[in-house]
C-alpha cells in the first residue's frame, strides 16, 4: 500500500507575490505556513526599486508573518536602475536577486524595462557580484500572439542574454512551454527555471471550460496540453534546473471577475498539496523534496533549511473564497494535506 504520509525537508517558494497593506496581512501567513523562505516579487505600485524601499517592505512582511519565515527580497529593474544601488542592496544583504519585467508584460510592470539593452550595465554588475536575475520571460510586442510570447522571448531576448552574460545566474520564471523546457535543459548550469502548480495542472482549455474562467487566467497564460506535459516531465525529472516557484498572485475577486480581469492565481494556501498531487500522478513523489527544498537553494547558493514538513494522505476541502480572494482549486477536494 502506498505510504500515508510524506515528510520532506522544509521547502521554499522561489517566486511569490505578497502584495502590501491589508492584502499582505491577509495572504502572507499562508506562504509562511507552507514555506521557510520565499523570493518576494517587487511589483508593487510604486515598485520596489531602491534599497530603502526593499528594507521597509521586508519589515512589513515580517510583521505580517511573524517569526519563522524569511522573505528574500528582489529589486525591480527599470531603465534607470543604478548598478551601484543594485550592488549596495546585495552586499548589505537586503536583496538577493533582481527582477526583469519587460514593460507592459504583466500586472504592475508599467515601470519595467523598455529595451533589455538599457539594463546591460546592471546585468554586467550582477554577473560580477554573483547576483541572480529573475526573468518574466514574455515579449510585449502586440504583434506576437499571446500564446507565443514566452517562446519568442527566448528566441529574441533570453538567448542573447545567456550569450552576452555567460556567468550571470538567470531564473526563467513560471515556464509554460516545451520550448522553455528545452532551452533551459540545453543551456549551461547558470540558467534554471521555476514551475508553478497551475502550469502543471491547467492547460489553456481551463480558461474556456464552459464559459470564460477568470480564476484560471494568469500570466504567462496556460498553453496547449503538449506544453503542460513537457513542463510536468521537466519538473518531476529530478533535474536541478527546475524548482518550485508558486507565482501565487492574489487579486480580490472583483478585480478578476471583471470586463478586464487581472492576471494571477492565489495558490499559496494549498501549494504543496498541489505539487504533491502532480508528483504522485507522475510516479515521482520521491523527487518532490529535491524540487521543493534542494534545487532552489543550491542554485541561489543558500543553505538548505533545517527541519521538515509532513503531508498526509487525507481529503482537504478547498474553500470557495479566502478573505475575498478565490484560491486555486476553489471548491475542489484535494487528496494531500499539509499538517500544521
H/E stretch holding 325: none
- Minimum CB separation of residue 17 from ligand NCD in Å reads 4
Taking CB under 6 A as the rule, does residue 144 contact ligand NCD?
A: no
CA 12 to chain centre: 11
Q: How far is the CB of 247 from Zn ion (least distance, A)?
A: 4
Which residues, 214 to 243, sit near ligand NCD by CB under 6 A?
A: 218-219
> E strands along 86-143, which residues?
95-100, 132-135
Q: Measured from the CB atom, is 216 or 311 closer to ligand NCD?
A: 216
Residue 297's contacts (CB-CB under 8 Å, 6 or more residues apart) are: 12, 303, 304, 305
Which of 36, 218 has the CB closer to ligand NCD?
218
Q: Does 263 bind ligand NCD (CB under 6 A)?
A: yes
User: Using alpha carbons only, what angle is made at residue 173 by residues 168 and 176, rounded to the nearest 5 degrees?
Assistant: 130
- When the beta carbons of 74 and 236 are compared against ligand NCD, the nearer one is 74
Q: Is 111 in the site for ligand NCD (CB under 6 A)?
A: no
218 binds, among ligand NCD, Zn ion, none (CB under 5 to 8 A by kind): ligand NCD
**Site pattern 221..250 for Zn ion (x: CB under 5 A):** --------------------------x---
176: contact with ligand NCD by CB under 6 A: no
- Report strand pairing: 308-312 vs 170-172: unpaired
Beta bridge partners of residue 322, listed in sequence order: 325
- Which positions ≥6 away from 257 have C-beta within 8 Å? 214
- Among ligand NCD, Zn ion, none, residue 106 binds (CB under 5-8 Å by kind): ligand NCD
Per the omega criterion (within 30 degrees of 0), is the bond before 46 cis? yes
Q: Which stretch binds ligand NCD (CB under 6 A): 32-40, 100-108, 176-184, 278-286?
A: 100-108
Q: What are phi and psi of 312, to 5 degrees?
A: -115, 140
For residue 218, the minimal CB distance to ligand NCD (Å) is 3
Choice between 106 and 274, CB closer to ligand NCD: 106
Q: Which stretch binds ligand NCD (CB under 6 A): 90-98, 101-109, 142-150, 157-165?
A: 101-109
Give the largest CA-CA distance in the chain: 58
Residue 266 near residue 327, CB atoms below 8 Å: yes
Answer for the pair 325, 43: CB distance below 8 angstroms, yes or no.
no
Of the listed 141, 148, 247, 286, which one is catalytic? 247
Q: Is residue 247 among the annotated active site residues?
A: yes
16 binds, among Zn ion, ligand NCD, none (CB under 5 to 8 A by kind): none
Question: Of 12, 247, 273, 280, which lies in the binding site for ligand NCD, with binding defined by CB under 6 A?
Answer: 247
β partners of residue 286: none
43 lines the binding site for ligand NCD (CB under 6 A): yes
Which residue of 65, 81, 106, 293 would you call a contact of ligand NCD, by CB under 6 A? 106
d(CA 118, CA 208): 38
Residue 227 partner contact from ligand NCD, Zn ion, none using kind-dependent CB cut-offs of 5 to 8 Å: none
- Binding-site size for ligand NCD (CB under 6 A) equals 12
How far apart (Å, rounded) are the C-alpha atoms in residues 42 and 39?
A: 9
Cβ-based burial of 164 (10 A; exposed 0-12, middle 13-18, buried ≥19): middle
The CB density around residue 102, as the number of other CB atoms within 10 Å, is 22
Catalog residues that contact Zn ion under the rule CB under 5 A: 247
Catalytic residues: 247
Catalog residues that contact ligand NCD under the rule CB under 6 A: 17, 43, 106-108, 136, 218-219, 247, 249, 263-264
Amino acid at each position: 500500500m502506498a505510504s500515508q504520509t510524506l515528510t520532506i525537508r522544509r521547502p521554499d517558494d522561489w517566486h511569490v507575490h505578497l502584495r502590501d497593506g491589508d492584502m499582505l496581512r491577509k495572504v502572507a501567513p499562508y506562504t509562511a505556513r507552507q514555506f521557510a523562505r520565499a523570493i518576494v516579487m517587487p511589483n508593487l505600485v510604486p515598485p520596489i526599486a531602491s534599497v530603502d524601499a526593499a528594507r521597509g517592505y521586508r519589515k512589513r512582511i515580517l510583521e505580517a508573518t511573524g517569526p519563522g519565515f524569511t522573505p528574500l527580497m528582489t529589486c525591480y529593474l527599470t531603465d534607470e536602475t543604478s548598478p551601484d544601488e543594485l550592488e549596495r542592496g546585495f552586499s548589505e544583504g537586503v536583496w538577493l536577486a533582481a527582477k526583469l519585467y519587460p514593460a507592459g508584460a504583466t500586472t504592475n510592470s508599467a515601470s519595467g524595462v523598455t529595451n533589455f539593452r538599457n539594463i546591460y550595465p546592471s546585468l554586467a554588475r550582477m554577473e560580477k557580484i554573483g547576483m541572480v536575475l529573475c526573468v518574466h520571460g514574455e515579449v510585449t510586442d502586440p504583434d506576437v500572439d499571446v500564446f507565443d510570447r514566452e517562446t519568442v522571448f527566448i528566441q529574441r531576448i533570453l538567448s542573447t542574454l545567456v550569450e552576452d552574460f555567460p556567468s550571470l545566474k538567470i531564473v526563467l520564471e513560471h515556464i509554460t512551454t516545451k520550448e522553455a523546457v528545452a532551452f533551459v535543459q540545453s543551456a549551461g548550469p547558470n540558467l534554471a527555471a521555476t514551475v508553478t502548480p497551475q502550469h502543471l495542472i491547467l492547460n489553456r482549455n481551463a480558461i474556456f471550460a464552459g464559459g470564460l474562467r477568470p480564476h484560471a487566467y494568469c500570466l504567462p497564460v496556460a498553453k496547449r496540453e503538449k506544453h503542460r506535459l513537457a513542463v510536468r516531465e521537466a519538473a518531476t525529472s529530478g533535474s536541478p534546473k527546475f524548482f518550485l516557484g508558486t507565482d501565487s498572485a492574489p487579486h480580490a475577486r472583483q478585480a478578476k471577475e471583471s470586463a478586464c480581469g487581472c492576471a494571477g492565481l492565489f495558490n499559496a494556501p494549498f501549494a504543496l498539496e498541489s505539487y504533491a498531487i502532480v508528483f504522485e500522478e507522475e510516479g515521482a513523489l520521491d523527487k518532490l523534496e529535491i524540487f521543493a527544498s534542494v534545487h532552489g537553494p543550491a542554485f541561489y547558493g543558500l543553505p538548505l533549511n533545517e527541519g521538515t514538513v509532513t503531508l498526509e494522505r487525507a481529503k482537504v476541502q478547498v474553500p470557495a473564497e479566502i478573505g475575498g480572494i478565490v484560491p486555486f482549486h476553489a471548491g475542489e477536494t484535494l487528496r494531500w494535506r499539509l499538517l500544521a
